């Protein structure tokens, strides 16, 4: 056993040296051969973004904060919020960059076979981000149910980022209402993803109306946990969350 282990170790070492280390050494040697040794000059560090002024903390801060935002990204102020759990924000960042472990992504990385990338809802389509959260006949209908609950009306966008922007403006342009709508958006995609995982790994199946109740409850707890003063019940929240959040137009509750 020991001899087999030793030979395997030596074999791996040989593979490492020949296939990984040697090409890098050749590359480094080529790089070094292009350098010129100037004996009359000392080595110096140079801050390339500002050659004249050199490195400053202020310059580095400006460089980091003025980087062009990729078009597929959402402004950080809309993404990083106190009332949405960090794990949900990170999940959303991965969603906007199409980095979630969806079945389509797993297939492209060789993790699952081609016939295993079908949506868990049983619709027969490939499970991509856009399909799972927007166009799936089962999960996609959650947006309509949420809109019905909030009494807002629209059609779904086909791009997940545009859908996020559009959903935020459905109840009006005020900042507080947009913020609340985005919180519902976060809660909806989180519930959809959890339901997807439950169906794959846990074998549990919830009806869309049950998922809607989960969205209501999740958003209720998120908002209540971060509100300084909040005297409303879950029943009030279900009836009119905008009023509970202080950005509603009506103050009538049916008890
Ligand atoms: Zn589907």
pLDDT in tens, 9-47: 555 555 445 555 555 555 556 555 555 555 666 677 777
pTM of the shown model: 0.69
Rounded distance from Cα 119 to ligand 1 centre (Å): 5
Contact partners, residue 145, CB within 8 Å, separation at least 6: 208, 209, 211, 212
Rounded distance from Cα 80 to ligand 1 centre (Å): 29
Distances (CA, A) of 10 to 2, 16, 20: 12, 10, 15
pLDDT per residue as tens digits for the range 99-121 = 899 999 999 989 999 889 999 99
Rounded distance from Cα 200 to ligand 1 centre (Å): 13
Mean pLDDT across the chain: 81
pLDDT at residue 40, as a whole number: 66
Looking at the predicted structure, is the pLDDT value of residue 165 above 70? yes
Distance CA 194, CA 236 (A): 25
Rounded distance from Cα 211 to ligand 1 centre (Å): 16
Higher model confidence: residue 170 or residue 250?
A: 170
Rounded distance from Cα 115 to ligand 1 centre (Å): 14
Grade residue 128 by pLDDT with cuts at 50, 70 and 90.
very high
Rounded distance from Cα 246 to ligand 1 centre (Å): 36
Rounded distance from Cα 138 to ligand 1 centre (Å): 6
Looking at the predicted structure, is the pLDDT value of residue 248 above 80? no
In this structure, is the dihedral angle defined by the CA atoms of residues 41, 42, 47 and 48, taken in order, positive or negative? positive
Distance CA 109, CA 222 (A): 35
pLDDT per residue as tens digits for the range 234-246 = 999 999 999 998 8
């Amino acid at each position: 056993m020991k001899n087999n282990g030793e030979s395997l170790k030596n074999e791996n070492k040989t593979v490492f040296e020949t296939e990984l280390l040697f090409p890098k050494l050749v590359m480094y040697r080529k790089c070094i051969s292009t350098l010129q040794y100037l004996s009359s000059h000392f080595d110096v560090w140079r801050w390339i973004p500002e050659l004249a002024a050199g490195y400053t903390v202020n310059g580095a801060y400006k460089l980091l904060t003025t980087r062009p935002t990729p078009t597929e990204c959402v402004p950080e102020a809309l993404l990083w919020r106190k009332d949405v759990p960090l794990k949900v924000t990170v999940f959303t960042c991965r969603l906007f960059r199409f980095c979630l472990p969806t079945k389509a992504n797993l297939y492209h990385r060789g993790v699952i076979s081609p016939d295993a990338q079908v949506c868990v809802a049983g619709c027969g389509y490939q499970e991509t981000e856009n399909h799972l959260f927007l166009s799936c006949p089962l999960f996609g209908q959650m947006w309509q149910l949420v809109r019905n609950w909030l009494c807002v009306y629209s059609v779904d966008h086909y791009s997940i980022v545009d859908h996020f922007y559009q959903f935020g403006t459905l109840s009006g342009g005020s900042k507080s209402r947009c913020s609340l709508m985005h919180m519902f958006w976060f809660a909806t995609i989180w519930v959809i993803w959890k339901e997807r995982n439950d169906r794959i790994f846990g074998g549990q199946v919830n009806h869309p109306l049950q998922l809607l109740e989960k969205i209501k409850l999740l958003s209720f707890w998120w908002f209540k946990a971060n509100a300084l003063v909040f005297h409303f019940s879950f029943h009030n929240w279900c009836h009119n969350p905008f009023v509970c959040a202080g950005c509603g137009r009506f103050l009538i509750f049916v008890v």
